[in-house]
Chain A
Amino acid sequence: NAGVTQTPKFQVLKTGQSMTLQCAQDMNHNSMYWYRQDPGMGLRLIYYSASEGTTDKGEVPNGYNVSRLNKREFSLRLESAAPSQTSVYFCASRRTGDPTDTQYFGPGTRLTVL
């Protein structure tokens, strides 16, 4: 049971390049989330998916797109990277109806945009 996995762990992009961050969970969770973490700002929600086939915007969605490929996988795409998107990106998952409301986080992807 690997929990939540993210690839890649590190990435350096040039301004204008595109890339997709991958996330997968093996806990059969319905809900999945993408956050970004910047120094001094905590984590901010980018997009979330309440179930397979559904996605919705979070607090800071501009410049990103997401795909809930199936129940296991939730990817985050940067179409044209900008230096302001330099951050650490975390994926998380949660079982709908879990009374503990626990979210399980991946190890993160550290992205630098030059």
Chain B
Amino acid sequence: KQEVTQIPAALSVPEGENLVLNCSFTDSAIYNLQWFRQDPGKGLTSLLLIQSSQREQTSGRLNASLDKSSGRSTLYIAASQPGDSATYLCAVPRGGTSYGKLTFGQGTILTVHP
């Protein structure tokens, strides 16, 4: 059974810092890995998706990496801003397929203070 773990559970940083969020998964036979953002009281927004054949994806100040062999992914946020404050979740398809049935980590609550 695939298990996804995110560390740390919460993170508080001053504005301008570069930071790394971690995601680990137990079954390395994944099709892809996604990072989502969730604002308080809202649904999830997809940030980045890394296919199993890729090592990283970038979008603006966000960079996500994937190491299937070690079962790890990281989300790097450069020059953090208060607007980045949210919960960040990673997810992988269940059973290694791309049928969209996702297994989520517990999330990292990020607070960026001015």
Contacts and interface: CB of A to CB of B under 8 A. Distances in A.
Interface of A: 4, 31, 33, 35, 40-45, 48, 50, 58-59, 90, 92, 94, 100-108
Query: Lowest 9 A-B CB distances belong to which pairs?
Result: A105-B43, A42-B104, A105-B44, A43-B104, A42-B106, A94-B100, A107-B43, A102-B46, A31-B100
B107 A42 contact: yes
Nearest to B44: A105
Nearest to A91: B43
B49 A43 contact: no
B101 A108 contact: no
B89 interface: yes
B64 interface: no
Interface of B: 4, 9, 31-32, 34, 41-46, 49, 89, 91, 93-94, 98-107
B9 to A, nearest CB: 8
Nearest to A102: B46
A101 B106 contact: no
Contacts of A4: 43
